[in-house]
């Protein structure tokens, strides 16, 4: 029989046990949540504090061949030496990479990582501004350093993105971003790497298809294809007039839209034109020649049909997908798969992107891998996701290959990073040893632990 005194004591002891269990549960939940959050948003790596030497690996420099049993040394985020017989500085941390491969970090030439999170949640997307002309839209200032897409992209080898806005006729600038850092300022490699123009679609209803004009009002009120091209030409003419007025010495109020276009008008950055059809590409080429700007075609679904013209004028193409199905009944099943190889064979310089969406940047190596499987030489496929996008965007002095003086932005792998069977074991961004965990690996480890626990119970 439990007396009142015993009952009180029993209640206190029971409450204590419940409290202990509650604290234990709370602690476990806190650790689990902390682990889950860290898996989704890895903690940025600290600055490199001492020289690092990766020794014994096969080093794929991209620009200077392959070095067997090589060593790469970097300090303060910069590569200082690459070779087979490299002196290791005193005080360096030596990493044994015997049997491994070292590649430059992969570069996605067209991505929305950092400005798009969940497609169905509008407030998590910051890809486009209102209106058709937003050349001053600079995505780096809108990049969310906490994006979970950052972790999933870099565990597949993508360490640099050309984060790009969309919408309108002139959607804004592409920003080159390192995928590591506490803030967008720390992540920015180049705030304005290219100006983006969305070429109108002549086959769209009303001649529209992009931006404000293509989505508002009755069909008969929408501008035609020709009218939209005229709008682009007039806007560039206004920007040139503004540039001349600013250079003339008189008082001209600063217009941030036209100001953002001056580097493109001066040839300091390229103009990337999104165009897929033959007529779009040819009209864009003629327009770029008239405007005297450096042109890069993005999309390029029909680029093979004007390949000779692209090669003759040395106009690069960024292919936005090599894993598409055919768009026309008469096209072969491999129209997209083999497009990179066919363009390369015709002398067209190409880069390959992950497809544009933030959720697709992590599949960049597979896009390039498909191109390899359908005829693109392996070394060209690597360049299409490293050196060539860096060259097209004017950042090849920093990234894209492994050379002294460039950023130590690189990968340690078990093989070719474009191969499904290859593991990306470690990445470095400007010499910082980054956390290679992401949400997918977190869930893999979580449910492997579930299996282990269930097996112990059964046995």
Q: Per residue in 81-98, pLDDT tens?
A: 999 989 999 999 999 999
Q: What is the CATH number of the domain that holds 270?
A: 3.20.20.140
**Are both 45 and 133 inside the same structural domain?**
no
The answer to whether the CB of 396 falls within 8 A of the CB of 390 is yes
Residue 26 lies in a domain: no
Rounded to an integer, the average pLDDT of 126-132 is: 88
Residue 339 lies in a domain: yes
Detail the DSSP E strand segments found in 334-404.
Answer: 350-352
**Are both 258 and 338 inside the same structural domain?**
yes
In whole angstroms, give the CA distance from residue 454 to residue 458: 6
Detail the DSSP E strand segments found in 148-251.
Answer: 158-163, 170-178, 188-198
Total-model pTM: 0.86
**Are both 336 and 413 inside the same structural domain?**
no
Condensed to tens digits (0 to 9), the pLDDT of residues 95-111 reads: 999 999 999 999 999 99
Residue 414 lies in a domain: yes
**Are both 100 and 113 inside the same structural domain?**
no
In whole angstroms, give the CA distance from residue 139 to residue 176: 9
Residue 7 lies in a domain: no
Place of tokens 């046990």: 17
**Are both 208 and 95 inside the same structural domain?**
no
**Are both 373 and 411 inside the same structural domain?**
no
Residue 116 sits at φ, ψ, to 5 deg, of -145, 130
**Are both 326 and 406 inside the same structural domain?**
no
Percentages helix, strand, coil for the chain, rounded to the nearest 5?
A: 40, 20, 40
Lowest mean pLDDT: which of 202-206, 265-269, 301-305, 342-346? 202-206
- Round the average pLDDT of the chain to a whole number and report it: 88
**Are both 222 and 334 inside the same structural domain?**
yes
pLDDT over threshold 70, residue 230: yes
In whole angstroms, give the CA distance from residue 147 to residue 124: 10
**Are both 133 and 59 inside the same structural domain?**
no
Detail the DSSP E strand segments found in 199-305.
Answer: 271-275, 295-299
**Are both 94 and 143 inside the same structural domain?**
no
Range of the domain at 53: 41-104+400-459
pLDDT over threshold 70, residue 162: yes
Kind and range of the H or E run holding 35: helix 4-40
CA-to-CA separations, 144 to 40, 41, 163, 200, 459, in angstroms, rounded: 13, 11, 11, 30, 47
Residue 20 lies in a domain: no
Domain count, the chain: 2
Q: Which of 395, 417, 439 is the last residue of a domain?
A: 395
Q: Are strands 101-104 and 52-60 parallel, antiparallel or unpaired?
A: parallel
**Are both 360 and 412 inside the same structural domain?**
no
The answer to whether the CB of 288 falls within 8 A of the CB of 271 is yes
Count of alpha carbons within 13 angstroms of residue 111, beta-carbon side:
36
Q: Which of 395, 416, 448 is the last residue of a domain?
A: 395
**Are both 238 and 299 inside the same structural domain?**
yes
Residue 27 lies in a domain: no
pLDDT at residue 127 in the model: 86
Looking at the DSSP assignment, which residues form a beta bridge with residue 174? 194
């Amino acid at each position: 029989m439990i007396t009142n005194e015993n009952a009180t004591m029993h209640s206190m002891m029971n409450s204590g046990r419940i409290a202990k269990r509650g604290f234990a549960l709370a602690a476990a939940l806190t650790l689990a949540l902390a682990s889950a959050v860290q898996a989704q948003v890895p903690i940025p790596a600290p600055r490199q504090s001492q020289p690092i030497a990766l020794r014994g690996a096969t080093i794929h420099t991209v620009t200077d061949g392959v070095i067997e049993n090589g060593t790469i040394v970097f300090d303060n985020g910069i590569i200082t030496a690459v070779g087979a017989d490299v002196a290791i500085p005193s005080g360096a941390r030596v990493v044994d990479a015997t049997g491994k491969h070292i590649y430059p970090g992969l570069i996605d030439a067209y991505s929305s990582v950092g400005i798009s999170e969940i497609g169905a949640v509008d407030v998590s997307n910051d890809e486009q501004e209102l209106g058709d002309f937003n050349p001053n839209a600079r995505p780096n200032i809108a990049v969310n350093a906490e994006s979970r897409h950052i972790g999933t992209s870099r565990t597949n080898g993508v360490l640099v993105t050309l984060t790009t806005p969309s919408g309108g006729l002139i959607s804004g600038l592409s920003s080159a971003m390192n995928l590591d850092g506490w803030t967008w300022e720390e992540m920015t490699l180049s705030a304005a790497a290219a100006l983006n123009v969305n070429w109108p679609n002549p086959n769209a209803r009303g001649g529209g298809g992009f931006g404000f004009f293509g989505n508002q009002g009755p069909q008969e009120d929408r501008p035609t294809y020709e009218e939209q091209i005229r709008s682009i030409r007039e806007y560039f003419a206004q920007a040139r007039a503004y540039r001349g007025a600013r250079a003339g010495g008189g008082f001209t109020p600063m217009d941030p839209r036209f100001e953002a276009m001056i580097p493109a008008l001066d040839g300091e950055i390229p103009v990337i034109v999104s165009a897929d059809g033959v007529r779009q590409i040819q009209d864009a080429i003629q327009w770029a020649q008239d405007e005297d700007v450096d042109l890069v075609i993005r999309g390029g679904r029909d680029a093979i049909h004007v390949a000779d013209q692209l090669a003759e004028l040395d106009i690069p193409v960024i292919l936005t997908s090599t894993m598409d199905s055919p768009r026309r009944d008469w096209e072969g099943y491999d129209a997209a798969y083999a497009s990179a190889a066919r363009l390369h064979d015709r002398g067209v310089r190409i880069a390959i992107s992950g497809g544009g969406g933030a959720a697709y940047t992590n599949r960049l190596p597979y896009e390039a891998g498909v191109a390899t499987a359908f005829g693109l030489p392996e070394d060209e496929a690597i360049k299409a996701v490293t050196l060539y996008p860096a060259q097209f965007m004017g950042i090849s002095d920093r990234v894209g290959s492994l050379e002294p003086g460039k950023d130590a932005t690189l990968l340690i792998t078990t093989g070719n990073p474009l191969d499904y069977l290859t593991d990306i074991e470690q990445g470095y961004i400007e010499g910082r040893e980054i956390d290679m965990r992401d949400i997918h690996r977190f869930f893999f480890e979580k449910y492997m632990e579930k299996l282990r626990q269930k097996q112990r119970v059964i046995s």
